[in-house]
Chains A and B, each alone.
Chain A
Amino acid sequence: MNDMRSLYLKVGSFLLVVLGLGVAFVFYYLHSRGFFERPFHFSLASVNAANVQPGIPIAYSGIPIGQVTEVEINSAGGVVIKAEINREDARWLRIDSQFVLNKPFIGGASIVVDSPNLTTPPLPANSRVLLQTADPNQQITQVLSQTKTLLANLDRLTAPGGALSNTMQHVDTISGRMAGPYGVMEGVLGTPAKARAFQQSVESTHVLLVRLNRLTDRLDAMTRKTDRWLFAPGGVSDATRQNLSQLHALLAQARGNLGQATQLLDNAVAISANVKGGTENLDLLRSEIDASVRKANDLLDQINRKWPFAKRPEVKLP
């Protein structure tokens, strides 16, 4: 009987201790979450409550320190936004702090606090401050109005007698010569002979492209073959080696051709330096040549990537 009583006592005290610990834990948890602290309250005045709703965060230096609790309209028709902040974070709010409603294109709105001077007196509790808005839509409106001004200026430029129309007349005199057999280039380069030479060099880049294209096809076929050889027992056979050296020669040829194209480009640069008028047309031509060379480069890259035994290209110190 006595044994049973002491057992009851033990179980009872154990339950009490566990219960006490549980309560202490809950209190500690609530305390650490700031439940017993009276938050710091203040309100923001604004003309427009768009995008503002209870729960949006108030951030200082990007760290949330509080949130909006209520949005209401006062008797004068103004919007009053009530907010609360952790009491310990209230020291970041100063008399001259700026409160800006930040509404990014993507994501939720937030109120950003900026306190440029932390030596000024702190913001008193329950005070009312002005909420400014940084709305990207407003910026767009500004850009739109700027664009309109720009368009108006352009209108004036292109009007008859305007600066641009005068320029166009000048271009007309050049284009008189552009009607010749070599068109634009004759206009730019002056004589048909020069234009012919240039035309030929442009054509040679096109030929080069066709040749490089054919080369990639051949290389593709060969690489497939080398793959099979590589994985066959015995590894790289003599026949493969011969094919590989042939591939090397082809690659060298492609490089040489590409070098020609680069020189061509250099010629174009030299020409553009000599000719003063009609640079626009020349720019067009140059961009075309640039594109051709780029294509050739791409092809060469492809070849290099498919090349089974390629070393990693690296700049070596000579």
Chain B
Amino acid sequence: MKRPGIAALMAMLASTLLLSACGSAPPVPHWQANAASLMGNYQADWLEGREILARREFALAVRATAATGDPARVARLYLVQCALRRAALDWSPCAHDAAAPSAPLPPQEAAYARFLDGDWAGVQDSLLPPQYAALPGLDQAHADRIDGALAAIADPLSRLIAASVALKRGQGDARTLRLASDTAAQQGWRRPLLAWLKLRLAEARERNDAGEAALLAQRIRLVESSFSPNFSPKE
């Protein structure tokens, strides 16, 4: 009498599990979809130098995420902002604790924040996004290998960020500069491109390489002219 009952129950349970596995995932909450798309737009706009738009999108993304009342999620947005700044050679401190200064970061975010600050000693490779995993192992002794490691990063934004942080750690050289500025140039990211080109210009002047300095100055002018609202091509 009892056995068929249990069997039926098991069958029901199994079929329920199967059905729930097949069924569509619960719809993504609005804030999440909005924050993700806003952050995507923010990254593109910021890198391409559309400051007003980018600022607006970031503010909206923070607002959407703040609706969850979760400091860690908001901190993640600020970490993205900080990473973008790093890509454009801005080494000002991160504001990831802006939302809740006393809330501790989750391990992954904390590792990322330390990575961005150039504080690589003791950062667990496994906690970092996979593209950076090879970097913390390279200290000043392996200066010659850093450029190879940077070139191996496939994502251009990640490559820029890593190059900038490596430079801050004193691990970069002229090849790092060229790699980073080429990366930014290929993507048309005006903002980081300007920063890296200007750094290269300063470096060329230091070497008294007048030819390269003149070339770099022209490239800088070209990028700068694209920012101007009155930009008009020559007839």
Measured CB to CB, the residues of A under 8 A from B are 255, 259, 262-263, 266, 269-270, 297, 300-301, 304-305, 308, 310, 312-318
Given contacts A266-B56, A301-B30, contact A315 B158 (CB under 8 A): no
**Among B43, B52, B53, which residue has its beta carbon within 8 angstroms of that of A318?**
B43
- Alpha-carbon distance A300/B36, docked complex (angstroms): 13
Closest 5 CB pairs of A and B: A313-B36, A318-B157, A315-B39, A318-B83, A305-B27
- Alpha-carbon distance A269/B56, docked complex (angstroms): 11
Instruction: Report whether B158 and A313 are in contact in the complex, using a CB–CB cutoff of 8 Å.
Output: no
**Among B36, B87, B112, which residue has its beta carbon within 8 angstroms of that of A317?**
B112
5 contacts between A and B (CB under 8 A): A262-B41, A262-B53, A269-B56, A315-B65, A317-B76
Instruction: Report whether A266 and B53 are in contact in the complex, using a CB–CB cutoff of 8 Å.
Output: yes
Instruction: Report whether B77 and A315 are in contact in the complex, using a CB–CB cutoff of 8 Å.
Output: yes
Chain B hits for A270, CB < 8 A: 52
Measured CB to CB, the residues of B under 8 A from A are 24-25, 27-28, 30, 32-37, 39, 41, 43, 52-53, 56-57, 61, 65, 73, 76-77, 79-80, 83-84, 87, 108-109, 112, 129, 155, 157-158, 161
Q: How far is the CB of A232 from chain B (nearest CB, A)?
A: 14
Q: How far is the CB of B105 from chain A (nearest CB, A)?
A: 12
- Alpha-carbon distance A259/B41, docked complex (angstroms): 8
Given contacts A262-B41, A266-B53, A305-B27, contact A313 B33 (CB under 8 A): yes
Given contacts A266-B56, A305-B28, contact A318 B155 (CB under 8 A): yes
Chain A hits for B83, CB < 8 A: 317-318
- Alpha-carbon distance A35/B28, docked complex (angstroms): 59
- Alpha-carbon distance A304/B32, docked complex (angstroms): 12
Instruction: Report whether B155 and A263 are in contact in the complex, using a CB–CB cutoff of 8 Å.
Output: no
Number of A-B residue pairs with CB-CB distance less than 8 Å in the complex they form: 59
Chain B hits for A266, CB < 8 A: 52-53, 56
Chain A hits for B33, CB < 8 A: 301, 304, 313
Chain A hits for B77, CB < 8 A: 315
- Alpha-carbon distance A308/B79, docked complex (angstroms): 31
Instruction: Choose among A259, A304, A318 the residue with the greatest number of B CB atoms under 10 Å from its CB.
Output: A318
- Alpha-carbon distance A308/B23, docked complex (angstroms): 11
Main secondary structure of the interface of B (DSSP, over half): helix
Q: How far is the CB of A294 from chain B (nearest CB, A)?
A: 11
Instruction: Report whether A312 and B28 are in contact in the complex, using a CB–CB cutoff of 8 Å.
Output: yes
Q: How far is the CB of A34 from chain B (nearest CB, A)?
A: 45
- Alpha-carbon distance A270/B52, docked complex (angstroms): 10
Residue on B nearest A308 in the bound complex, by CB: B24
Chain B hits for A269, CB < 8 A: 56
- Alpha-carbon distance A39/B90, docked complex (angstroms): 75
Instruction: Report whether A313 and B157 are in contact in the complex, using a CB–CB cutoff of 8 Å.
Output: no
Chain B hits for A308, CB < 8 A: 24
- Alpha-carbon distance A218/B28, docked complex (angstroms): 22
- Alpha-carbon distance A269/B108, docked complex (angstroms): 38
Chain B hits for A297, CB < 8 A: 34
Residue on A nearest B25 in the bound complex, by CB: A312
Q: How far is the CB of A271 from chain B (nearest CB, A)?
A: 13
- Alpha-carbon distance A270/B129, docked complex (angstroms): 38
Chain A hits for B53, CB < 8 A: 262-263, 266
Instruction: Report whether B28 and A315 are in contact in the complex, using a CB–CB cutoff of 8 Å.
Output: no
Chain B hits for A310, CB < 8 A: 28
Instruction: Report whether A318 and B41 are in contact in the complex, using a CB–CB cutoff of 8 Å.
Output: no
Instruction: Report whether A313 and B80 are in contact in the complex, using a CB–CB cutoff of 8 Å.
Output: no
- Alpha-carbon distance A119/B109, docked complex (angstroms): 52
- Alpha-carbon distance A259/B44, docked complex (angstroms): 11
Chain B hits for A313, CB < 8 A: 28, 32-33, 35-37
- Alpha-carbon distance A196/B34, docked complex (angstroms): 32
Instruction: Report whether B28 and A317 are in contact in the complex, using a CB–CB cutoff of 8 Å.
Output: no
Instruction: Report whether A315 and B80 are in contact in the complex, using a CB–CB cutoff of 8 Å.
Output: yes
Chain A hits for B112, CB < 8 A: 317
Chain A hits for B129, CB < 8 A: 316-317
- Alpha-carbon distance A315/B77, docked complex (angstroms): 7
Instruction: Report whether B27 and A315 are in contact in the complex, using a CB–CB cutoff of 8 Å.
Output: no
- Alpha-carbon distance A305/B27, docked complex (angstroms): 6
Instruction: Report whether B32 and A317 are in contact in the complex, using a CB–CB cutoff of 8 Å.
Output: no
Chain A hits for B109, CB < 8 A: 317
